[in-house]
């Protein structure tokens, strides 16, 4: 399908500033896509790519060539996370904004491995109110993409709660997500403001690229996650990442939202995100020595000075305890927040997720009888398949539940390529 | 590739600003299908505008309103069920869209003047013959369907219609899914009840819209509150849509009473019933002539589709789509001006000039007693004599109605739902609730008789004799 001639002209005008080789490559890619592959581009899509990447021929070339799942239009490239993942701002063709993640491992198998890791925490995909809604889509070549709901707001280091009320909501909502993950033996491993979003009056945990089973984080492994929210035991290297370090990281985010600095950092202190190995080591050593020698000054005193609400102060103090053994579990954080901060929390009474057993029982009772493939839309079938995969991954114990699950799996049949 | 806008907005006299977001916005695209646009040419209230002049709104605006209400219910159910239902059993964006599309299409098959057509022209239609002519598959069993429901299904399922193509453009199996939903078949089995029941999106819209258009104060109820207490419950191992039992009885009562009041005062206003009855007897006359081998106009080439339909012959989807209020009025005008048949011409003239039959001012029991003893023939002879026409049967309209406020059929039932825990709350029948059970009794409306004004006096005398 051809594009509007004025848009094509606009592209060509932009191209005049480029190197001729780049221009030829982009023109060729565009023609190939539109005329040979017959993969259309909407005017919105082209306009967005031009606006964002008009001066980046290489990126434009990548995006023209990109075979996204047919249900989506890619609007721009957002970032590359490490060497494994590229993130795109995209739109479901129903108009809904999403984030599309592509895994750039060479083999489909390796891509699948990375994707499975991201999917680990979604045994009840799309059902937990504080975990990002996630789907898996394939493009025409069978390559899998992770599709996340695009949240209107994602926090950053400069985000401030503006008081104990909002901080309580952040703490409680994400503690619920952690309670859910930890209950499934999963450690998030990278809690930081950039991985927390806000949508429809609730905070949501994002990005499960590091998330894995507790046993898979061994003490000898390089510490993962952000230095800003890294727990003392990881800085010192006394133990590997665990549930307690997730709790610390959440405490650190809430601390930052109230105090204006992360627990072991000074206000406005430059925090290296991507730097040379030497710089990073130097910074790690510096923070590590603060954790050993000046913990009281950095954490306890500042909590005392900046957090007036006693319930919040006590809870944060425990979550940020230097010794991981002294920290509360996610369950305890939820429970403490519920009792000490309930007056501030919006989602009290609305947070309960439904047990897998109850969900299976409901699906067994209330889905139409017979072959579900013939009554469910493609999208619904995919969502159900995704939910059942999650149940399967959560290692059911009851015989009845296993039976129901197997029955449902039979009724939805094999996934088509 | 056309990209749908993220939000479509429509201003509405009843619901105010109606917003359709994401997938929902496709409704506006679908609305341009010519089969839906035909509904602009069919009045929602038939001939009620002859009594309430502002009640001229179309079936299309009602259908869009019903779709909007459907979305509001679906959004509410999606929200409320997230605490007690497994994700695959909850409404989502796609389900909302499906429900709204089904609501938008629920009146697709209506004929001219809707209920007059259904009652007078295709009252005892030959189901298998129509199924075949409309190109419908032999299954499911269509036996229980009303004529307009059958036609609506045919329009949705016919690959040549605009609306079929428009839906298919969104998803391959969307036409059959929407048609299925209108027949009560959907993977969320509780949802189609919102399209057809004692409290459904059709009624929720038309009660407000028709009252508003007629300009009456009857028919008002609190839609916002009704939606806000809707939920999903469980009854006999099935999920059902219902209303919070602690809050529902008053609003359900208000809604049901509002609807009944509208029937009593607007839909079944005697003058409107008389006018509809007159169009009915005119169409009967035309049909009788056709069955005798003659046509009401001199030119046999005119109004071919009406000739086929009024003679009782099934017609195709394409032909059905030529029928609407406008074309029927053109036929009535043509009969009034040019017909050689004195009865048809006289009836048509009376309709066009709003010289309507009057209600015979006599107690209903007298009509029942007389016709029970002597039948209708003496009355028909009397009217023929008074009006100077050959056959008085076309000059009498007998009107007998029954109204059910709360249905006895569980498929249409209203449910009250108890508090949900980890699973849906228990649903009970609203008609069994002590505050609503009195609304469950069928309501017999008094029979009425309409006749030309010149025969009224003598009819009263005879009926009292």
State whether residue A380 sits within 8 Å of chain B by CB.
Answer: yes
Mutate to test the interface with A, among B80, B84, B86 (most CBs of A within 10 A): B86
Residues of A in contact with B22 (CB under 8 A): 92, 94-96
State whether residue A90 sits within 8 Å of chain B by CB.
Answer: no
CB pairs under 8 A between A and B: 94
State whether residue B320 sits within 8 Å of chain A by CB.
Answer: no
SS (H, E, C) chain A: CCCCHHHHHHHHHHHCCCCHHHHHHHHHHHHHHHHHCCCCCCHHHHHHHHHHHCCCHHHHHHHHHCCCCCCEEEEEEEEEECCCEEEEEEEECCCCEEEEEEECCCCHHHHHHHHHHHHCCCCCCCCCCCECCEEEEECCCCCEEEEEECCCEECCCCCCCCCHHHHHHHHHHHHHHHHHHHCCCEECCCCCHHHEEEECCEEEECCCCCCEEHHHCCCCCCCCCCCCCCCHHHHHCCCCCCHHHHHHHHHHHHHHHHHCCCCCCCCCCCCCCCCCHHHHHHHHHHHHHHHHHCHHHHHHHHHHHHCCCHHHHHHHHHHCCCCHHHCCCHHHHHHHHHHHCHHHCCCCCCCCCCCHHHHHHHHHHHCCCCCHHHCCCHHHHHHHHHHHHHHHHCCCCCHHHHHHHHHHHHHHCCCCC
State whether residue B240 sits within 8 Å of chain A by CB.
Answer: no
State whether residue A373 sits within 8 Å of chain B by CB.
Answer: no
List, for chain B, all residue ranges whose pLDDT scores fall below the cut of 70. Answer: 1-6
User: Is this model's pTM higher than 0.80 or not?
Assistant: no
State whether residue A37 sits within 8 Å of chain B by CB.
Answer: no
Residues of A in contact with B4 (CB under 8 A): 93-95
State whether residue B17 sits within 8 Å of chain A by CB.
Answer: no
Residues of A in contact with B21 (CB under 8 A): 95
Architecture of domain A67-150: 2-Layer Sandwich (3.30)
If you measure CA to CA, which chain A residue comes closest to B91?
A380
pLDDT score for B240: 97
- Helix H or strand E segment including B336: helix B325-338
Please state the domain extents for chain B: 7-268+404-444
Angle between helices A57-65 and A20-31 (to 10 degrees): 20
pLDDT score for B1: 27
pLDDT score for B184: 93
Each residue's pLDDT, cut to its tens digit, for chain A (417 residues) gives: 456 777 777 777 777 788 888 888 888 888 888 888 888 787 777 777 877 887 888 888 888 888 888 878 888 888 666 556 788 888 877 677 888 888 776 666 666 666 666 665 544 343 577 888 777 777 888 777 888 888 878 898 889 988 888 899 999 999 988 988 888 788 888 899 999 998 877 899 988 878 888 877 765 455 566 888 999 888 877 777 889 999 999 999 999 999 999 999 988 887 665 557 777 778 888 888 888 888 889 999 999 999 988 899 999 999 999 999 999 998 889 878 877 887 787 765 444 467 788 889 999 999 998 888 888 887 788 778 767 876 776 667 789 989 999 999 999 886 543
State whether residue A365 sits within 8 Å of chain B by CB.
Answer: yes
> Which residues make up the CATH 3.30.200.20 domain(s) of chain A?
67-150
pLDDT score for A2: 54
Query: Is B111 in contact with B292 (CB distance < 8 Å)?
Result: no
Q: Are strands B230-235 and B425-429 parallel, antiparallel or unpaired?
A: parallel
Question: Which CATH entry fits the domain spanning B7-268+404-444: 3.40.1790.10, 1.20.1090.10, 1.10.1050.10, 1.10.3210.10?
Answer: 1.10.3210.10
What is the ipTM score, two decimals?
A: 0.85
Please enumerate in sequence order all residues whose Cβ is within 8 A of that of B343, keeping only pairs 6 or more positions apart, or say none: B285, B389, B390, B391, B394
φ/ψ of residue A187, rounded to 5: -110, 130
Residue ranges of B 68-87 with Cβ closer than 8 A to chain A: 82-87
State whether residue A68 sits within 8 Å of chain B by CB.
Answer: no
State whether residue A396 sits within 8 Å of chain B by CB.
Answer: no
CATH 3.40.50.9100 for the A153-344 domain, yes or no:
no
State whether residue A312 sits within 8 Å of chain B by CB.
Answer: no
Give the distance from CA B42 to its chain's centroid.
Answer: 11
State whether residue B298 sits within 8 Å of chain A by CB.
Answer: no
Residues of B in contact with A372 (CB under 8 A): 187
Residues of A in contact with B238 (CB under 8 A): 366
Q: Do B3 and A93 touch (CB under 8 A)?
A: yes
Select the residue of B83, B88, B185 nearest A363 (Cβ to Cβ): B88
Query: Distance, in angstroms, between B89 CA and closest chain A CA?
Result: 7
> Rounded mean pLDDT of chain B?
93
Residues of B in contact with A360 (CB under 8 A): 86
Q: Do A362 and B85 touch (CB under 8 A)?
A: yes
Query: Distance, in angstroms, between B206 CA and closest chain A CA?
Result: 29
> Which residues make up the CATH 1.10.510.10 domain(s) of chain A?
153-344
Residues of A in contact with B77 (CB under 8 A): none
């Amino acid at each position: 399908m051809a594009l509007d001639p004025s848009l094509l002209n606009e592209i060509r005008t932009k191209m005049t500033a480029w190197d001729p080789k780049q221009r030829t490559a982009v023109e060729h890619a565009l023609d190939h896509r539109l005329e040979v592959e017959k993969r259309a581009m909407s005017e919105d899509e082209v306009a967005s790519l031009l606006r964002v990447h008009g001066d980046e021929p290489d990126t434009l070339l990548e995006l023209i060539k990109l075979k996204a799942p047919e249900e989506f239009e890619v609007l721009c490239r957002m970032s590359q996370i490490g060497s494994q993942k590229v993130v795109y701002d995209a739109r479901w063709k129903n108009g809904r904004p999403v984030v599309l993640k592509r895994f750039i491992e060479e083999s489909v198998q390796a891509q699948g491995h990375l994707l499975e890791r991201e999917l680990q925490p979604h045994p009840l995909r799309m059902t937990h109110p504080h975990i990002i809604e996630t789907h898996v889509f394939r493009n025409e070549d069978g390559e899998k993409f992770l599709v996340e709901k695009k949240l209107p707001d994602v926090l950053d280091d400069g985000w401030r709660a503006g008081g104990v009320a909002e901080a309580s909501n952040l703490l409680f909502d994400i503690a619920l997500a952690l309670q859910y993950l930890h209950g499934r033996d999963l450690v998030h491993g990278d809690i930081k403001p950039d991985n927390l979003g806000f949508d429809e009056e609730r905070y949501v945990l994002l990005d499960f690229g590091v998330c894995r089973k507790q046993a898979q984080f061994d003490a000898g492994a390089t510490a993962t996650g952000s230095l800003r929210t890294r727990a003392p035991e990881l800085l010192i290297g006394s133990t590997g990442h665990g549930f307690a370090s997730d709790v610390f990281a959440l405490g650190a985010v809430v601390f930052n939202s109230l105090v204006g600095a992360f627990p072991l950092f000074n206000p406005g202190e430059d925090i290296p995100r991507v730097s040379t190995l030497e710089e990073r080591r130097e910074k790690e050593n510096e923070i590590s020595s603060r954790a050993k020698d000046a913990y009281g000054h950095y954490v306890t005193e500042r909590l005392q000075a900046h957090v007036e609400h006693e319930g919040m102060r006590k809870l944060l103090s425990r979550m940020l305890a230097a010794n991981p053994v002294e920290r509360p579990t996610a369950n305890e954080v939820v429970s403490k927040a519920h009792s000490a901060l309930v007056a501030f929390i919006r989602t009290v009474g609305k947070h309960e997720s439904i047990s897998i057993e109850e969900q299976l029982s409901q699906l067994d009772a209330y889905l139409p009888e017979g072959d579900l493939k013939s009554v469910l839309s493609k999208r619904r079938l995919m969502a159900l398949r995704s939910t059942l995969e999650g149940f399967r991954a959560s290692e059911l114990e009851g015989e009845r539940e296993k039976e129901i699950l197997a029955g449902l799996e039979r009724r939805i049949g094999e996934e088509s390529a | 590739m056309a990209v749908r806008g993220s939000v479509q907005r429509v201003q509405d006299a009843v619901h105010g600003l109606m917003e359709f977001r994401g997938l929902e916005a496709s409704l506006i695209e679908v609305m341009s299908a010519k089969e839906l646009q035909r509904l602009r040419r069919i009045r929602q209230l038939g001939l009620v505008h002859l009594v309430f002049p502002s009640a001229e709104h179309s079936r299309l605006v009602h259908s869009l309103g019903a779709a909007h209400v459907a979305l509001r219910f679906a959004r509410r159910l999606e929200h409320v069920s997230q605490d007690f239902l497994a994700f695959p059993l909850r409404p989502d964006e796609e389900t909302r869209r499906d429900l709204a599309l089904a609501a938008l299409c629920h009146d697709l098959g209506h004929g001219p003047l809707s209920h007059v057509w259904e009652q007078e022209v295709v009252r005892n239609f030959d189901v298998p013959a129509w199924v075949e002519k409309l190109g419908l598959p032999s299954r499911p069993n269509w036996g229980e369907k009303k004529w307009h429901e059958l036609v609506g299904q045919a329009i949705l399922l016919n690959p040549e219609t605009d609306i079929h193509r428009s839906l298919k453009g969104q998803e391959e199996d969307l036409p059959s899914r929407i048609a299925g939903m209108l027949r009560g078949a959907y993977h969320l089995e509780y949802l189609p009840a919102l399209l057809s029941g004692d409290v459904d999106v059709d009624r929720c819209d038309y009660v407000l819209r028709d009252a508003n258009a007629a300009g009456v104060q009857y028919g008002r109820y609190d839609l916002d509150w009704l939606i806000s207490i809707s939920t999903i419950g469980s009854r006999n191992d099935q999920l059902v849509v219902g209303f919070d039992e602690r809050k529902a009885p008053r609003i359900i009562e208000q809604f049901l009473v509002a609807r009944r009041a509208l029937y009593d005062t607007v839909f079944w206003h005697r003058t409107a019933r008389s006018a509809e009855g007159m169009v009915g007897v005119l169409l009967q006359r035309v049909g009788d002539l056709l069955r005798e081998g003659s046509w009401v106009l001199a030119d046999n080439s005119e109004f071919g589709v009406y000739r086929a339909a009024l003679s009782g012959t099934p017609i195709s989807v394409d032909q059905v789509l030529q029928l609407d209020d406008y074309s029927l009025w053109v036929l009535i005008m043509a009969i009034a001006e040019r017909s050689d048949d004195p009865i048809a011409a006289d009836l048509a003239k009376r309709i066009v000039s709003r010289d309507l039959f009057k209600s015979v001012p006599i107690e209903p029991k007298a009509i029942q007693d007389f016709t029970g003893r002597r039948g209708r023939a003496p009355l028909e002879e009397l009217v023929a004599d008074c009006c100077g026409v050959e056959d008085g049967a076309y000059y009498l309209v007998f009107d007998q109605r029954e109204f059910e406020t709360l249905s006895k059929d569980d498929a249409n039932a209203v449910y009250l739902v108890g508090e949900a825990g980890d699973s849906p709350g228990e649903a009970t029948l609203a008609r069994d609730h002590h505050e609503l059970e009195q609304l469950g009794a069928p309501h017999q409306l008094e029979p009425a008789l309409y006749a030309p004004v010149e025969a009224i006096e003598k009819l009263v005398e005879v009926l009292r004799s």
